[in-house]
C-alpha cells in the first residue's frame, strides 16, 4: 500500500458559510457510498475544513481513485503521506523519502509550499520551505527549484499531524448528491438525455428516470440499453429508480386519431404529462430532458414552447445550447457514448412522420388532442399504474 491517506479537496462547497457542514456531511456520505464498491476498508474523516480518506486495509490504488473521481463535489484527490509530529529532523527525512518514492525519475523542477496551521510548531513555513528545498536538492542533484512554474509542487501542511503531498488528481467537481432535491429525467436510449441527467446530478440533484417503452415496436434490447445507461449515470449520481412506462397503446391511439405530421409533438406532450405525474408522486420537483435547440424538428423553439406548455414543474434542459459534438464529447467523457450508439430503436423513431411540423401552433395541437378525449385519460392512468420500476445502480 503506497498511500495510507488521500486528501479530498472540495471548492464550491467550501464557500457555503454556515451551511457548510451540510455540504461536507453530504460529501462524506457520497464518498462512503462510492467506496463501498471498492475492495478494502476505509475511514472517511472530517477535520478543520479538510476531508481525508484513510485506508484501513490493503486496497487497489486505481480502483480507489476511479471511485473517488465519480463523486460530485470533489475537485481534487491528493494521495498523501500523513506524518505524526516526531520532531523536525525526522520530518525532513520522511519528506525526502516520500519524494524519492513518488518520483523515480528525478529530472523535475519543484517548489516547496509549507502551510503551518499549528502555530505551536517550532519552525515557520518559510524555514520549512528553505530547509526541505535544500534537502531535496542535496539528495537528488538532478532536481531544480522553480518558484514560478514548478513541475512538482510539494505541499506540506503542518497541523496536529503533518500532511505531505504533491499530486492532485482532478475530481468530477460539482456538488454532492443530496444537497439539492430530486428531479425526474426523461431517459431515452439516445446520446443526449444521459448527458443531461449527468449534468443536473452534478449540481447535487438526486435523479429518478422515466423511459417510454413501446413493445413490440421497441425491443427488449432497447429497454436493456436504457437500463444500462441509467446504471452508468448512477455510477456518479447514486442509485436511480427507473420507471418504465408501456407507451404502445397511447402511441397507437395518437397515430390513429391525429394528423401524422403532429405525431411527434403530441407524443412528446404526453411524455411530459406522464413524467410530471410520476414526478409529483415520487417527490421530484423538476423534469430533465436532453433537448437542444434546433437539433431535430421536435426541438425548434416553437416545438419546445408547445411541449413545455403541458408542464407545471420546471423543465431543466442542460444541453439546450450545446452543439451535437459538444454533447458527444461529454458523453464520451462520462462513458455513456458507446452504449448510446448501439443501434436499437427508441420509441420515437418508429412513429415519426416524414415531414413533422417544425412550427406547431399551440391551438392547432390542442384541437388535435381533443380527438383523443374518449380514451386518453384512462390510457394515461393505466400506463402510470402498470409501470415497471427498476432500481439501477
Which among 228, 241, 250 has a CA at the least distance from the CA of 185? Answer: 241
Task: Answer with the entry of ligand ATP, Mg ion, none that 171 interacts with (C-beta below 5 to 8 A by kind).
Answer: none
CA 102, 108, 109, 115: dihedral to nearest 10 degrees?
0
By CB under 5 A, how many residues form the interface with Mg ion?
3
71/347 with CB nearer ligand ATP: 347
Residue 358: exposure state from Cβ atoms within 10 A (0-12, 13-18, ≥19): middle
- Least Å distance, CB 311 to ligand ATP, is 12
- Least Å distance, CB 111 to ligand ATP, is 46
Task: Report how far residue 267's alpha carbon sits from residue 281's, in angstroms, rounded to the nearest whole number.
Answer: 21
Give every CB contact of residue 240 below 8 A, 6+ residues apart in sequence.
185, 197, 207, 208, 209, 230, 231, 233, 234, 391, 392, 393
- The residue ranges that bind ligand ATP (CB under 6 A) are 186-188, 190-193, 210-212, 271, 289-291, 295-296, 298-299, 346-348
Task: Answer with the entry of ligand ATP, Mg ion, none that 299 interacts with (C-beta below 5 to 8 A by kind).
Answer: ligand ATP
Q: Provide the mask over 169-198, with x wherever binding to Mg ion is found by CB under 5 A and - wherever it is not.
A: -------------------x-x--------
156/187 with CB nearer Mg ion: 187
> Which span sits near Mg ion by CB under 5 A: 73-81, 128-136, 277-285, 346-354?
346-354
Task: Answer with the entry of ligand ATP, Mg ion, none that 307 interacts with (C-beta below 5 to 8 A by kind).
Answer: none
β-bridge partners, 244: 211, 388
- Least Å distance, CB 218 to ligand ATP, is 8
67/258 with CB nearer ligand ATP: 258
Query: Residue 177: how many CB atoms within 10 A of its CB?
Result: 25
Cell numbers for 29: 456520505
- Least Å distance, CB 187 to ligand ATP, is 5
> Which span sits near Mg ion by CB under 5 A: 142-150, 168-176, 298-306, 343-351?
343-351
Which helix or strand (DSSP H or E) is residue 9 part of? strand 5-9
Q: Which residue is nearest to ligand ATP (CB)?
A: 190
CA 351, 355, 358, 362: dihedral to nearest 10 degrees?
-60
Cell numbers for 375: 380514451
Binding site for Mg ion (CB under 5 A): 188, 190, 346
Amino acid at each position: 500500500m503506497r498511500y495510507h491517506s488521500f486528501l479530498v479537496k472540495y471548492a464550491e462547497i467550501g464557500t457555503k458559510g454556515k451551511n457548510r457542514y451540510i455540504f461536507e456531511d453530504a460529501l462524506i456520505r457520497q464518498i462512503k457510498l462510492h467506496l463501498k464498491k471498492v475492495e478494502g476498508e476505509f475511514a472517511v474523516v472530517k477535520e478543520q475544513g479538510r476531508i481525508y480518506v484513510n485506508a484501513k486495509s490493503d486496497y487497489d490504488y486505481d480502483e480507489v481513485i476511479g471511485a473517488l473521481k465519480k463523486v460530485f463535489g470533489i475537485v481534487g484527490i491528493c494521495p498523501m503521506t500523513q506524518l505524526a509530529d516526531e520532531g523536525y529532523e525526522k520530518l525532513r527525512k520522511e519528506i525526502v523519502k516520500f519524494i524519492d518514492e513518488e518520483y523515480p525519475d528525478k529530472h523535475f523542477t519543484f517548489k516547496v509550499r509549507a502551510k503551518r496551521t499549528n502555530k505551536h510548531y517550532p519552525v515557520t513555513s518559510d524555514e520549512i520551505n528553505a530547509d526541505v528545498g535544500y534537502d531535496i536538492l542535496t539528495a537528488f542533484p538532478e532536481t531544480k527549484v522553480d518558484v514560478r512554474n514548478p513541475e512538482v509542487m510539494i505541499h506540506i501542511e503542518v497541523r496536529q499531524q503533518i500532511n505531505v503531498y504533491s499530486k492532485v488528481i482532478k475530481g468530477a467537481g460539482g456538488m454532492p448528491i443530496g444537497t439539492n432535491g430530486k428531479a425526474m429525467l426523461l431517459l431515452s436510449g439516445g446520446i443526449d438525455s444521459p448527458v443531461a441527467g449527468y449534468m443536473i446530478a452534478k449540481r447535487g440533484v438526486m435523479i429518478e428516470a422515466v423511459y417510454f417503452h413501446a413493445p413490440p415496436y421497441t425491443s427488449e434490447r432497447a429497454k436493456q440499453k436504457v437500463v444500462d445507461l441509467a446504471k452508468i449515470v448512477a455510477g456518479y449520481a447514486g442509485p436511480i429508480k427507473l420507471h418504465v412506462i408501456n407507451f404502445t397503446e397511447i402511441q397507437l391511439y395518437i397515430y390513429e386519431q391525429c394528423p401524422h405530421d403532429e405525431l411527434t409533438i403530441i407524443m412528446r406532450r404526453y411524455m411530459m404529462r406522464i413524467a410530471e405525474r410520476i414526478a409529483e408522486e415520487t417527490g421530484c420537483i423538476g423534469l430533465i430532458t436532453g433537448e437542444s435547440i434546433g437539433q431535430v424538428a421536435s426541438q425548434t423553439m416553437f416545438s419546445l414552447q408547445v411541449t413545455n406548455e403541458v408542464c407545471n414543474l420546471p423543465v431543466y434542459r442542460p444541453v439546450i445550447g450545446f452543439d451535437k459534438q459538444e454533447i458527444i464529447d461529454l458523453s464520451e467523457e462520462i462513458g455513456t457514448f458507446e452504449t448510446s450508439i448501439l443501434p436499437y430503436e427508441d420509441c420515437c423513431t418508429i412513429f415519426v412522420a416524414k415531414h413533422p411540423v417544425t412550427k406547431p401552433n399551440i391551438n392547432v395541437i390542442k384541437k388535435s388532442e381533443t380527438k383523443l378525449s374518449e380514451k386518453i385519460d384512462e390510457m394515461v392512468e393505466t400506463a402510470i399504474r402498470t409501470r415497471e420500476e427498476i432500481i439501477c445502480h
